[in-house]
């Protein structure tokens, strides 16, 4: 077990290095010139100013040296400074990360609870109308674009019914309060979570159906255990373990979805920051965000794999 975890960690290191190379290379190809965007070219001293600023930002060095400098700073926890605001990227991200984690976390919880529940019901009532309609719902879930679902929810719940706020993380002008924040969270979290429910549902259903046909389930019934006990103790306990892996699979799409949802609901997290940076050609911020999302995906895949091996003692990795 320890060896397995160690090996997985070691394999992640070259991937991590590859990720930094890819991120840096892409950012260096960004069109547009941040320096020109910051400095007015109308003044006579403009040319010198631009040169000076380029030197300060290290933009005049060869690309591999720029990469070296960037990685060196990275190791000191420095992601560079925003071209637009001059703030350090790490502090901009740190300030906005909680909002995104709150949104993604709640969406994930919605997806897991709803998805597992629907999947279990679907499997236990296989080929019933319930099963068919849940399956249809699942297909609809993976077919609706996040932004359309978001717009429909806004239209129904905040425009037509006037029940919930449609943008921001809290009411502007008021002091921050948790209940106000949670009211703002409901629509974006559901918009993000509902579409991901489908993957959990489909996987849970398949897993439960597979376990149901095992000999030990038949044995449990044969020795006279009640159906409820067979279901909870023998079927679900074994069937729900592999569902953990779906969290790892869902996470990258959750990241992408969060970007869209944050734009629609003006949820001030790192996704909205990323899109603003893309529009403003703010490559340090873009790099910081892309790097962070890749690292989080990598780390969470690692954690789900380890969790899976801990939860299911039948699995041996050596």
Partner 1 sequence: MTISLNIPAAGTEALVKGESLWIKARKRFLRHRLALIGLVILCVMVLLAVLAPVVAIYSPVELNLDAMSQPPSTTHWLGTDTTGRDVWSRIVHGGQVSLSVGLVAVSISTLIGIVIGSIAGYAGGKVDLLLMRVTDMVMAFPSLVMIITVASVLGPSIYNTMLVIGILTWPGIARLVRGQFLSFREQQFVLAARSIGVPPIQIMFRHLFPNVVGTVTVAATFGMANAILQEASLSFLGLGVQAPTPSWGNMLRDAQTFSILEGMPWLWIAPGLMIVLAVLSINFIGDGLRDALDPRSIL
Residue numbers of the site for partner 1 (CB under 8 A)? Answer: 14-15, 18-19, 22, 26, 29-31, 136, 139-140, 142-148, 151-152, 154-155, 159, 202-203, 206, 209-210, 251-257, 259-260, 263-264, 274-275, 278, 281, 286, 289-290, 293-294, 297-298, 301
**In the complex, least distance from residue 268 CB atom to partner 1, rounded to whole angstroms:** 17
Which own/partner pairs from 68-74 qualify as long-range (CB within 8 Å, at least 24 positions apart)?
Answer: 70/24, 70/287, 71/20, 71/24, 74/20
Nearer to partner 1, 114 or 208 (CB): 208
Least distance in angstroms from the C-beta of 220 to partner 1: 23
Q: Which is nearer to partner 1, 88 or 167 (CB)?
A: 167
Which is closer to partner 1, CB of 61 or CB of 151?
A: 151
What are residue 81's DSSP bridge partners? 88
Residue 190 CB, shortest distance to partner 1, in Å, is 17
Taking the complex as a whole, the smallest distance from the CB of residue 286 to partner 1 amounts, in Å, to: 6
Taking the least distance from each CB to partner 1, the nearer of 49 and 297 is: 297
- CB of 160 or CB of 215, closer to partner 1: 160
CB of 202 to partner 1, least distance (A): 6
How many other C-beta atoms can be found within 10 angstroms of the C-beta atom of residue 100? 25
Taking the complex as a whole, how short is the minimal distance between the CB of residue 34 and partner 1, in angstroms?
Answer: 13
Extract the tokens encoding 153: 């929810």
**Count of Cβ atoms closer than 10 Å to residue 134 Cβ:** 22
| Phi-psi group of 162: left, alpha or beta (phi > 0 → left; psi -120 to 50 → alpha; rest → beta) | left
39-60 exposure pattern, b = at least 16 Cβ within 10 A, e = fewer: beeeeeeeeeebeebbeebeee
CB of 229 to partner 1, least distance (A): 26
Residue 71 or residue 159: which is nearer to partner 1 going by CB?
159
Phi, psi torsion values for 50, nearest 5 degrees: -60, -45
Which C-beta is closer to partner 1: that of 134 or that of 289?
289
């Amino acid at each position: 077990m320890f060896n397995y975890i160690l090996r997985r960690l070691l394999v992640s290191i070259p991937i991590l290095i590859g990720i930094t190379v890819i991120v840096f290379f892409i950012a260096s190809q960004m069109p547009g010139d941040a320096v020109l965007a910051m400095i007015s070219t109308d003044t006579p001293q403009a040319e010198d100013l631009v040169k000076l600023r380029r030197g300060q930002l290290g933009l005049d060095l060869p690309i591999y040296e720029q990469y070296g400098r960037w990685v060196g700073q990275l190791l000191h926890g420095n992601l560079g400074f925003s071209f637009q605001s001059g703030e350090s990227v790490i502090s901009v991200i740190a300030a906005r990360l909680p909002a995104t984690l709150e949104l993604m976390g709640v969406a994930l919880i919605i997806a897991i609870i709803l998805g597992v529940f629907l999947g279990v019901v679907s499997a236990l009532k296989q080929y019933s109308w319930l099963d068919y309609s849940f399956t249809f719902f699942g297909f609809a879930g993976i077919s609706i674009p996040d932004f359309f679902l978001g717009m429909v929810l806004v239209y129904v719940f905040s425009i037509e019914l006037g029940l919930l706020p449609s943008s921001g993380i809290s009411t502007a002008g008021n002091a921050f309060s948790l209940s106000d924040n949670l009211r703002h969270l409901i629509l974006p979290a559901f918009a993000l979570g509902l579409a991901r429910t489908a993957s959990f549902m489909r996987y849970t259903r398949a897993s439960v159906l597979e376990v149901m046909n095992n000999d030990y389930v038949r044995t449990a019934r044969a020795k006279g255990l009640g159906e409820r006990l067979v279901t909870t103790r023998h079927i679900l306990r074994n069937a729900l373990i592999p569902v953990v892996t779906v969290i790892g699979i869902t996470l990258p799409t959750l990241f992408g979805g969060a970007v869209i949802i944050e734009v629609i609901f003006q949820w001030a997290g790192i996704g909205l920051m990323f899109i603003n940076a893309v529009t403003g050609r703010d490559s340090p911020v873009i790099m910081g965000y892309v790097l962070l999302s890749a690292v989080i995906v990598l780390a969470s895949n690692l954690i789900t794999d380890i969790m899976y091996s801990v939860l299911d003692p039948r699995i041996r990795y050596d």
